[in-house]
């Protein structure tokens, strides 16, 4: 299956999960993630700000603040085709709806990539080798490939998004681990 067809199939799988079930399963995945040693040892985490038909990340940000961690979120620079990690301290006052339906930080100076201990990565699909199928623009691939990023790339998804094989190429960057509402998978680096 090519990337385009797989994206459509996986979007349909996620859309079939009802809102109440999606919320409960998002909470379960968030709790599982926050119990992992990679999260517990991280001082600075970057999360994607979830939108409709994505696993929810709000509870992870709230837990991270309760755990006295710094929370960053990506702001997209469309002109430069890259993401800028910006610290947020609230999901209501520090965040707005940006282009392409993405939620992003309103303002703030970018934090050095080297300071980030963990990045919570979105995606449409993941496989047993840690390959990730994103939305096709390569923002997370470029970010995770940054020469200064030494942290853990942790994907967060519903179990339905785990597949046998994700089509991938040389520009796709694998994640280190995948947390779903059912289990944690770690991949060889």
Domains held by the chain: number? 1
pLDDT in tens, 51-96: 888 999 999 999 999 999 999 999 988 788 889 999 999 998 888 8
Q: Which pLDDT belongs to residue 97?
A: 80
Please identify every stretch of the chain with a pLDDT value under 70, giving residue numbers as ranges.
Answer: 189
CB 156 within 8 A of CB 189: no
For residue 17, give the CATH number of its domain: 3.40.50.10420
Q: Report the Cα 149 to chain-centroid distance in Å.
A: 15
Q: Which pLDDT belongs to residue 80?
A: 82
Give the C-alpha distances (Å, rounded to integers) separating 106 from 48, 79, 85, 86, 115: 14, 17, 12, 9, 21
Q: Report the Cα 159 to chain-centroid distance in Å.
A: 15
Q: Which two tokens stand for residue 152?
A: 């853990």
Q: Which pLDDT belongs to residue 68?
A: 98
Its domain, for residue 25, covers: 3-186
Q: Which pLDDT belongs to residue 1?
A: 75
Q: Which two tokens stand for residue 167?
A: 């089509």
pTM of the model: 0.93
Kindly tell me the burial class for residue 105, based on how many C-beta atoms sit within 10 Å of its own C-beta (0-12, 13-18, 19 or more): buried
> Which residues lie closer than 8 Å to 156 by C-beta, 6 or more apart?
29, 30, 33, 55, 57, 60, 120, 121, 122, 178, 179, 180
DSSP H helices, the chain, are 3-15, 19-34, 37-40, 58-66, 139-144
User: Among 132, 134, 184, 129, which Cα is nearest to 159's?
Assistant: 184
Q: Which pLDDT belongs to residue 10?
A: 95
Q: Which pLDDT belongs to residue 186?
A: 97
């Amino acid at each position: 299956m090519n990337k385009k067809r797989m994206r459509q199939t996986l979007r349909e799988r996620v859309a079939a999960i009802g809102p109440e079930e999606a919320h409960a399963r998002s909470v379960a995945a968030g709790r599982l993630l926050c119990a992992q040693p990679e999260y517990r040892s991280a001082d600075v985490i970057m999360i994607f700000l979830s939108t409709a038909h994505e696993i929810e990340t709000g509870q992870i940000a709230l837990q991270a603040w309760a755990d006295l961690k710094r929370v960053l979120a990506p702001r997209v620079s469309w002109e430069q085709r890259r993401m800028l990690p910006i610290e947020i301290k609230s999901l209501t006052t520090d965040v707005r709806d940006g282009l392409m339906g993405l939620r992003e930080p309103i303002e703030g100076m970018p934090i050095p990539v080297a300071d980030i201990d963990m990045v919570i990565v979105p995606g449409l699909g993941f496989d047993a080798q840690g390959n990730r199928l994103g939305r096709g623009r390569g923002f997370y691939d470029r970010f995770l490939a940054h020469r200064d990023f030494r942290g853990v790339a942790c994907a967060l998804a519903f179990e339905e998004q785990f597949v046998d094989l994700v089509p991938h190429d040389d520009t796709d960057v694998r994640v280190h681990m995948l947390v779903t509402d059912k289990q944690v998978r770690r991949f060889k680096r």
